[in-house]
Amino acid sequence: MVLRKILTDAKIVEQKSLAKDIFLMRLHAPDIAKAAKPGNFLQVKAQRGTTLLRRPLGIAEARGDDVSLIYRKIGKGTAELAAMQEGEIVSVMGTIGNTFNLNLKKPLLVGGGMGLSPLLFYAEYMKNASVLMGARTSAELFWEELFSPFVKEIFVATEDGSKGEKGFNVAFLPKILQQGKYDGIIACGPDPMMKKAVEIAKEANIPVEVSLERRMGCGLGACLSCAIDTKSGRKKVCKDGPVFDGEEVFF
Ligand SMILES: Cc1cc2nc3c(=O)[nH]c(=O)nc-3n(C[C@H](O)[C@H](O)[C@H](O)COP(=O)(O)OP(=O)(O)OC[C@H]3O[C@@H](n4cnc5c(N)ncnc54)[C@H](O)[C@@H]3O)c2cc1C
């Protein structure tokens, strides 16, 4: 199990809105920042929050003594996080989970929506990646500015065509693979996007990793709420993942 089990109270040093209902929260958490590797996630909740369980969020940045999370407000737990102010305390468990392949020479990141968050950490850490990003609309493409200092190329698709190619990002993946000699694909986003990315990678004979999001309880491998079936048996997303060989996963 890849859990560097640090339970800590972390002060919010920055909380800002990036788009409607999407926030970046930077936490002062030196031990976690030192231990963090791309692919890892944290279980977080507001210290005075009302949810029993922490919520899993991928690490988007780890710089110096701080880690950042980028999250969409969708339910009770994330609404409580979004309502917090700088100076308030978040209860954090982590780092949790395995990492992406950190040995690729020319990775292509394929991210949709909030799935771009853990890929951002990978892009900054590796500095050799290109990214194909997908969003519903250009208003959610603040990601371009976040990725641009760290990546070689950025390919953009929006579902409404308001920026870049019109349609789902994976529709453009075969063409991008033909043009560049990537040695691996790393995908994170909605399951249908990752399923398609795996099919395309298989056809192009390129290894592919996916980072899965499942409803999670304990984050420690005990409660089984995030269990999935894979080609090599039952796995827990929190304990065995969240990063899996794409060809192992049944979508
Ligand atoms: C390893 C991992 C990393 C994640 N990283 C990020 C991230 O970087 N940024 C981000 O915005 N979100 C991320 N998520 C999803 C995030 O955990 C959920 O959005 C969050 O737990 C919802 O909590 P809530 O209390 O606000 O919503 P709830 O009230 O619990 O649920 C609201 C809705 O969200 C759905 N939902 C709840 N939990 C999850 C979940 N774990 N995965 C998918 N859908 C869920 C529910 O089915 C429901 O429809 C990640 C999930 C996992 C497992």
Question: 107-211 sits in which CATH class?
Answer: alpha beta
Q: Is the CB of 56 under 6 A from ligand 1?
A: yes
Best of 68, 193, 213 to mutate for ligand 1, by most ligand atoms within 8 A of CB? 213
Instruction: Report the C-alpha dihedral over residues 83, 135, 132, 232, rounded to 10 degrees.
Output: 70
Q: Note whether 49 and 5 are within 8 A (CB).
A: no
CA of 199 to the centre of ligand 1 (A): 25
- 85: which 2 tokens? 């102010």
pLDDT at 25: 98
CA of 23 to the centre of ligand 1 (A): 14
Interval 88-141: pLDDT, tens: 999 999 999 999 999 999 999 999 999 999 999 999 999 999 999 999 999 999
- Which atom of ligand 1 is least distant from the CA of 72? 11
Interval 35-87: pLDDT, tens: 999 999 999 999 888 988 999 999 999 999 999 999 999 999 999 999 999 99
Parse the chain into domains and list their residue ranges.
3-96, 107-211
Q: Is the CB of 242 under 6 A from ligand 1?
A: yes
Q: What is the DSSP string of 200-225?
A: HHHHTT--EEEE-----SSSSSSS-T
pLDDT band at residue 3, thresholds of 50, 70 and 90?
low
Q: Is the CB of 77 under 6 A from ligand 1?
A: yes
pLDDT at 1: 46
What is the pTM assigned to this prediction?
0.95
Rounded CA-CA distance 9/234 in Å is 33
Rounded CA-CA distance 36/216 in Å is 20
- Can you tell me the mean pLDDT for 9-21? 97
Q: Which CATH architecture has domain 3-96?
A: Beta Barrel (2.40)
- What mean pLDDT value characterizes the chain? 95
User: What residue owns the CA closest to ligand 1's atom 6?
Assistant: 57
Which residues are CB-neighbours of 63 under 8 A, at least 6 positions away?
Answer: 33
Interval 159-205: pLDDT, tens: 999 999 999 999 999 999 999 899 999 999 999 999 999 999 999 99
- Can you tell me the mean pLDDT for 225-240? 95
